[in-house]
Amino acid sequence: MADNVENHIPLNIENQIPLSNYSLDPGHVLYLHHSDNPNCGLTNELLTGGNYEQWKRSCEVSLSAKNKMSFVIGGYPKLASNSPYLPLWERCNSMVISWLLHSVDKDIASSIIYTPTAEQI
């Protein structure tokens, strides 16, 4: 999937920089909706340890609805450092990490906060 990203994001011809998020197809995995923000959680109940199965399912539903599940399951790995789309990937990855951090107990969050990718969490 990552190999095809360049075929789906329009480029500014002059400097080969990806156009804004608003020019992405809303179905594209790198698209973030204007209502997506880092202070949201994915679930109503925080992960505390004993509620993992329900928490996991709730997160899967939320991430799937936001078209970001591939960041967690490894279906959209980090792009090459020279890819013009890397900033878009990093923004989406950071957003998913933030959603996950806001969906777990603070003790759990403190143990995963420095994890670099959502997939690794």
C-alpha 26 chain-centroid distance: 14
Largest CA distance in the chain: 54
pLDDT exceeds 60 at position 5: no
Burial 6-19 (b: 16+ CB within 10 A, else e): eeebeeeeeeeebe
Whether residue 95 contacts residue 20, with contact meaning beta carbons closer than 8 Å, is answered with no
For 8-41, the pLDDT digits (tens) are 555 554 445 555 555 778 889 999 998 999 999 9
pTM over 0.85: no
Residue 22: per-residue pLDDT: 53
Query: pLDDT by residue (tens digit) across 39-98?
Result: 999 999 999 989 999 999 999 999 999 999 999 999 999 999 998 889 999 999 999 999
Q: What pLDDT is attached to residue 112?
A: 97
Distance CA 23, CA 1 (A): 19
